[in-house]
Structure 1
Amino acid sequence: MCRKLPLERDGALRYLLPAILNPRYQLTNPNILLEDLPYTLSMVATITSQHAIERVKSNCSLSTIQYLTENKTSAQVSLTEGHKFDRDVELLIYYSEVHSPSVAVEMGMLDMKPDNLMGAPCAMLSFYPDIPEVEASKFCGEFVFLMDRSGSMDFPMSRERNSQLRIEAAKRRVKYTQETMEDAVERVKCLEADLGGTEILAPLCNIFKAPSIPGHPLKLFVFTDGEVSDTFSVIKEVQLNSNKHRCFSFGIGQGASTSLIKTIARVSGGTAEFITGKDRMQTKALGSLKFALQCAVENISLSWELPPGLTVKMLSPEQPAIIRGQRLITYVQLTGLMPQVESTGTVCIKHSLQGKSLENRVIFSLPPKANANFFIHRLAAKSLIQTKDMGLVKTSEEDKEDVMNISLQSGVLSSFTAFCAINKELNKPVQGPLDHRVIPTTGIDVTVSWPPHFGAWQGQVEQWVLGAAECGSESINSLELVSEYSGMTNVAPIEETKEADASTKESNVQNEHKAFGDNVVVQLIALQNANGSWNLDEDLTKILGSTLKDIKAANPVKHEDPSAWATVLAVVWLHAIGKDLKCEWELLERKAVAWLHDHAVS
């Protein structure tokens, strides 16, 4: 199988080998203990690249990386012996000089005609621009959240014991204003997975029919766990409206439709995320929000300089803009006479960023080397198929014929083709009924019981887009927030003893907060006001590990509004105690700092 690996926030490429390909609604396999699984998985991954490979990380135990070349462009890693295939295997691959554009060229198949996709040489251009992060206050936008409330959203996130329900992971949204924030608790109580099947086409159409707000580009966030009845109609609708919005999609749980989630993001220039197992919704949702608040590289154009007799045929659709953290992958076919002696080609990438015109030039060697796997050709074929294949009903007869020809030539699947099992000893298709094998898996307890203190913590609201950095109501027309559900009661005040010295008290505070996990950070976030400040009250002082009397006494400007002092302490606390979750509060910290600039005395 040949596929393009997704790019992570930190520049790593992510490879995922799923333990279960498509669990969907229920599993019938027997559940046994992990140590009793009758099978193990061995895997060796060989990595080759034009860039040096810095390191490889995994959620599973790996062997030490072995470099196969001196320049570290080829390496191998393997799972340690005896790995139980009880979870998805994830590899994160980090490269050096990732922002340098590159071109890889590959010879075509010798037994194919040169006018076929697989017969002529192909090139892949990779461009991952280093776009500086800008302050969110410079961005204006309208934010709309589309939430799946189908019945399957009431299932657990994963097969792990005590995994939270999908709807609980997702039900964190009410419109963000000061007034509606006060009503957030009651509104999220009404959000349940009770609307039958996953049908999002109608609400999508309603969203796109709404009048645009001048100066506020639309950012659409879609959260779902499953398939829709007509995936291609949904994709087509998003694609038709891609000129006026970006779609940021989220697949919740291990059975989310990769085709739907990835494609609606791709055709609209947004990003796709999958939340499985113990992944935090806040981290990934905030990451996408940060993307939505960033400027973009725009007006991208390519010009190719090749030896005489050689021309370029574009195979990828135009991508006029990419935002920070995205990359441009373009496939082209080289047609004509390939030079017989060593030569070079050049591609010039012109683009604009924040009003400035820029360009990058990449020189590559010709003629290309042979590759028996034809990776670039098959990736190009997949890109072509994705642009033409809209399903049985939506694809024109002409495009359908093109898709089938490309699929049969390259061995890349489409909606009109399928693989056939071949008995290699007989060189004949496998026939007859399929053998059913029962594969034991590790167990999961899907029984859900609410704790008796449910009402005490149900209304905690995590303002993960609380103000979107320094954005005020002037720059964001419509913004929404998120509420957090956690099985912990409100954190109790930390007892102080007069005998304890300062260092001991600090250690006790940190240990207490660590015991409560990230819940205490969520509670502090929930106390922030819509304008970015915190109130100096008992709820805040409990989290800070002190008393209201002592904190008021320490206020350096006692005659002024104590909110400034409270806000300073809250921000300092986040840096000291909540630093491991910085990606989840850095936007609200920026808003707090902006509020302090306007309201704090010297």
Structure 2
Amino acid sequence: MICLYIGTNTGSCGLITAQKDPVPLKSVEVELEVRDHVATVVSTLNYENKEDKPLEAVFVLPLPGDAAVCHFSAQIGQTQIVAEVKEKQKAREEYDDALSSGQQVCLLTESDESPDIFSLCVGSLPPGESASIRLEYVTELAVQADDGLRFCLPAVLNPRYQPQGSAGAGFQVTSVPASLEPYSLSFSARVSSPRPVSKVESNCSLDPLQYLNTDQTQATVKLAAGHKFDRDVELLIYYKDAHQPTAVVEAGQASAEPGSLMGDPVVMVSLYPEFPQSVMSSTASCGEFVFLMDRSGSMGFRIKRRSLQTCIHSAKDTLLLLLKSLPMGCYFNIYSFGSRYEHIFPKSVEYSRQTMEEALKKVKKMKADLGETEILEPLKHIYSQPCILNQPRQLFVLTRGWVKNDKEVIDLVKKNSSSHRCFSFGTGENTSYIFINKISKEGGGHAQFITATDKIQPKVMQSLQFALQPSVIDISVTWDLPKEVSVTVLTPPITSILQGQRSLIYAQLTGQSSEAAEGCVTLKYSLAGHPSENQLHFSLRPAEDTGLTVHMLAARTLIRSLEMEARDNKGERDEEMKKVVEELSIQSGVSSAFTAFIAVSKSSGEAIQGPLIPPPSDFWHISAALLGQAQNYHDIHVCNFLITATESELSVKDPLLQLVSLLEASGCWLLKPALASVLGKTSKEVANLKPASASSEVWATILALIWLHGFKMDAKDEWELLAMKAASWLRAHNATCVTECVEAGNALLGCRVTKDALGL
């Protein structure tokens, strides 16, 4: 028998046999195919039974929670078995029966607790035999702040914290980096798009990008040799003209019944709404900004391996940028949470120099010392506070996100989405991708992932710019199709729109149309009192070589919506809705919470001796029983992940962040030695060139703006809001010496920045 075992006293961790031998996983092969923003991932896990008796193995796999698992098969010796999707309980019973009779059998089930966790059972692997498990899924790739598309291959199953007193409390599940296990990883990616592929980046070493055609619309890339699977593998893919709207029509499955989801064509529409410049040029100066920061023990982990900075330091840097960039006249408060929660002010206060400095002093002292990750109670307290008139609430959540009661938290965010927008930041590697994305989606905001310090600023600034945009209301989607074609929209209604961000729509097209026929989809909305619309005309002719990818993603979208609807029915799963999900899952071959993949070889073999492993539905509890002496999160995780760090390590080498930290709440800089140091000058040099008629604040502020425009234009999206705030402060002070200060500043810093470029 193989099981997940965690023992803090013995030093054993990861996947091992009952005799504490390493799990017989020999290698993992991953092939990624990206077509525009849709990824197909094929993973092959190779095993070998080195024991002298048949083996049953149970593994827990982290997969993207929004993925559509669409294929599962096994090659055991010379026998190939392909899994079918069946109702979950029937699949478990069939697995037990096959295992008892010695048949080779595999079972893949989605966790009842979370859709991003799957358990894989490999039953009756004969002595000395090898097995290859093939798992395939499709998923959409999220758009990042710099327009890159992000793909993440999780290296480990991360821990989940269950608050005391909630259902299923008292267990945790974890794993270890693959560097401590004997298996290897090979990873390759093929990228294609109607637009040229400009670059592919990764947090891991890559071989050079290889283009497959002259227009650079197809390319391949691989992980460099010698890679150790000791962290999540993150890939960022960049296209030219990334914000072009698209529509892909995919033909139905020939063998499927016409009129069914799989039998009819399905269209996937990607829209990138662009707001009028007149609205975007005037940034809002109001709002209640509530920051909720994770201070649980996991925030003491390094944000990036081989880096000194920890997640808590990254979160504090993020808070610094956010606080410095807030507009005068708004309100704010800061909450931090772990097993308990704290807030800096009893209620949100008006943003001023005094309140900002008071908040920053307390943020500076924050440590990852509040215990476990319990976010529900502080959220309840935030939502219980009355909203401030004419100050729309914007919630910013900074966390690693590993909570077990994620559904309860997500439901709470969704319930309160009419009174606020939620912007989430996943800090560090191995964050809970699905949870962080889901709370922002249900809260009408946007999610960002901070995996390295050099990428904090643009992501923070983009989210703040989104938060300062007025809320979009009266959203509607209309279709104009030939009269013989009808449309069934499969995507939940769009509830929020952000400037330049993708809005995805899946729809089933029923009826016959000519090859030359066209359709049109129109997205209408109202922004700051101005009605707007975006239109996309598209051909109804099915695209070639898409397989059934669009159908499977559409089925996954509909399945998730129906699952949520079933759960929302008075807190119980509605049996009728459950049946609909089961039928759709079986018809489409896509996983769901109510079904499982089961593959059985009809050949007979030697039965497994001894008690069977309990059904995968109880896998969380299996893990609990095997936790040994582990008492809490910290016992399990000390390993090599925690480091000690001092305040002096907080991004002191980043001059841009240093300049940001010196900005006053009002939007000006003061003439201090620290400012001169950032500018690369002495205090004497700065003072000597100051025009006599200029105040020290005006001179310092213009110098800072010139430095930003002269030396940091490649990072403009990181400081643009700060510069706008500073320019507004200068205009409000009606300084008569601006021209003279700009000329003197250029002379001092060796720049050629014009007054117009500074917004003056």
Q: TM-score range by the shorter chain?
A: 0.7 to 0.9
| Aligned: 1:43 with 2:217 | no
Cα deviation digits, residues 153-172 of structure 1 (max 9, x gap):
223324x1244222222235
Give the whole-Å Cα distance in 1 for the aligned partners of 2:392 and 2:458.
23
In structure 2, the residue matched to 1:214 is 389
In structure 2, the residue matched to 1:164 is 309
- In the alignment, structure 1 segments of 5+ residues that lack a partner are 435-443, 458-484, 489-516
Give the whole-Å Cα distance in 1 for the aligned partners of 2:542 and 2:188.
30
| Aligned: 1:415 with 2:551 | no
Which structure shows the bigger proportion of residues in strand conformation?
2
Give the whole-Å Cα distance in 2 for the aligned partners of 1:161 and 1:57.
22
Give the whole-Å Cα distance in 2 for the aligned partners of 1:221 and 1:57.
29
Could you tell me how far 1:244 is from its partner in structure 2?
2.0
In structure 2, the residue matched to 1:78 is 221
Could you tell me how far 1:236 is from its partner in structure 2?
1.1
SS at match of 1:138: coil
SS at match of 2:408: helix
- Equivalent residue runs for 1:466-505 within 5 Å: 486=650, 488=652
In structure 1, the residue matched to 2:667 is 532
In structure 2, the residue matched to 1:503 is none
In structure 1, the residue matched to 2:380 is 205
**How many aligned residue pairs are there?**
522
Give the whole-Å Cα distance in 1 for the aligned partners of 2:303 and 2:549.
34
1:583 to 707, 717, 720: 717
Give the whole-Å Cα distance in 2 for the aligned partners of 1:299 and 1:317.
15
| Aligned: 1:153 with 2:328 | no
- Equivalent residue runs for 1:169-208 within 5 Å: 169-171=314-316, 173=319, 175=333, 176-184=351-359, 186-208=361-383
In structure 1, the residue matched to 2:286 is 140
Work out whether residues 291 and 325 of structure 1, in 8 Å CA contact, stay in contact via their aligned partners in 2. Answer: no
Query: Which residue identity does 1:15 align to in structure 2?
Result: F
In structure 1, the residue matched to 2:480 is 305
- Equivalent residue runs for 1:2-401 within 5 Å: 2-20=138-156, 22=158, 28=176, 39=184, 41-47=186-192, 49=193, 51-59=194-202, 60-67=205-212, 75-79=218-222, 82=225, 84-86=227-229, 87-131=231-275, 134-135=280-281, 137-158=283-304, 160-171=305-316, 173=319, 175=333, 176-184=351-359, 186-278=361-453, 280-295=455-470, 298-335=473-510, 337-339=511-513, 342-369=516-543, 373-390=547-564, 395-401=573-579
- Compared with structure 1, are the counterparts of its residues 431 and 149 closer, same or farther at alpha carbon in structure 2 (3 Å cutoff)? farther
Give the whole-Å Cα distance in 2 for the aligned partners of 1:598 and 1:204.
38
TM-score (norm 1): 0.77
Give the whole-Å Cα distance in 2 for the aligned partners of 1:114 and 1:427.
40
Work out whether residues 298 and 351 of structure 1, in 8 Å CA contact, stay in contact via their aligned partners in 2. Answer: yes
Work out whether residues 232 and 430 of structure 2, in 8 Å CA contact, stay in contact via their aligned partners in 1. Answer: no
Give the whole-Å Cα distance in 2 for the aligned partners of 1:362 and 1:30.
46
Could you tell me how far 1:449 is from its partner in structure 2?
3.8
- Compared with structure 1, are the counterparts of its residues 371 and 551 closer, same or farther at alpha carbon in structure 2 (3 Å cutoff)? closer
Identity of aligned residues (%): 38
Work out whether residues 670 and 696 of structure 2, in 8 Å CA contact, stay in contact via their aligned partners in 1. Answer: yes
- Compared with structure 1, are the counterparts of its residues 528 and 197 closer, same or farther at alpha carbon in structure 2 (3 Å cutoff)? same
Query: Which residue identity does 2:219 align to in structure 1?
Result: Q
Could you tell me how far 1:572 is from its partner in structure 2?
1.7
Query: Which residue identity does 1:401 align to in structure 2?
Result: K
Could you tell me how far 1:584 is from its partner in structure 2?
3.1
- Compared with structure 1, are the counterparts of its residues 363 and 422 closer, same or farther at alpha carbon in structure 2 (3 Å cutoff)? farther
SS at match of 1:303: strand
- Compared with structure 1, are the counterparts of its residues 563 and 422 closer, same or farther at alpha carbon in structure 2 (3 Å cutoff)? farther
Work out whether residues 166 and 253 of structure 1, in 8 Å CA contact, stay in contact via their aligned partners in 2. Answer: yes
Give the whole-Å Cα distance in 2 for the aligned partners of 1:581 and 1:360.
30
Of 298-307 and 375-384, the range deviating more from structure 2 = 298-307
| Aligned: 1:554 with 2:728 | no
| Aligned: 1:595 with 2:739 | no
Give the whole-Å Cα distance in 2 for the aligned partners of 1:253 and 1:28.
16
Work out whether residues 23 and 255 of structure 1, in 8 Å CA contact, stay in contact via their aligned partners in 2. Answer: no
SS at match of 1:2: strand
Of 363-372 and 321-330, the range deviating more from structure 2 = 363-372
Work out whether residues 232 and 429 of structure 2, in 8 Å CA contact, stay in contact via their aligned partners in 1. Answer: no
Work out whether residues 304 and 345 of structure 1, in 8 Å CA contact, stay in contact via their aligned partners in 2. Answer: yes
- Compared with structure 1, are the counterparts of its residues 426 and 246 closer, same or farther at alpha carbon in structure 2 (3 Å cutoff)? farther
Query: Which residue identity does 2:442 align to in structure 1?
Result: V
Give the whole-Å Cα distance in 2 for the aligned partners of 1:290 and 1:239.
22
Could you tell me how far 1:374 is from its partner in structure 2?
0.9
In structure 2, the residue matched to 1:461 is none
Give the whole-Å Cα distance in 1 for the aligned partners of 2:604 and 2:456.
48
SS at match of 2:500: coil
In structure 1, the residue matched to 2:87 is none
Work out whether residues 200 and 209 of structure 2, in 8 Å CA contact, stay in contact via their aligned partners in 1. Answer: no
Give the whole-Å Cα distance in 2 for the aligned partners of 1:349 and 1:30.
46
Work out whether residues 313 and 650 of structure 2, in 8 Å CA contact, stay in contact via their aligned partners in 1. Answer: no
- Compared with structure 1, are the counterparts of its residues 382 and 575 closer, same or farther at alpha carbon in structure 2 (3 Å cutoff)? same
Give the whole-Å Cα distance in 1 for the aligned partners of 2:713 and 2:241.
28
- Compared with structure 1, are the counterparts of its residues 163 and 110 closer, same or farther at alpha carbon in structure 2 (3 Å cutoff)? farther
Cα deviation digits, residues 196-232 of structure 1 (max 9, x gap):
3222222222222222222221111111113223211
Structure 1 ranges of 4+ moved more than 6 A:
23-26, 425-428, 430-434
Give the whole-Å Cα distance in 2 for the aligned partners of 1:204 and 1:89.
32
Cα deviation digits, residues 108-139 of structure 1 (max 9, x gap):
22222234322222111111123356246434
SS at match of 1:263: helix
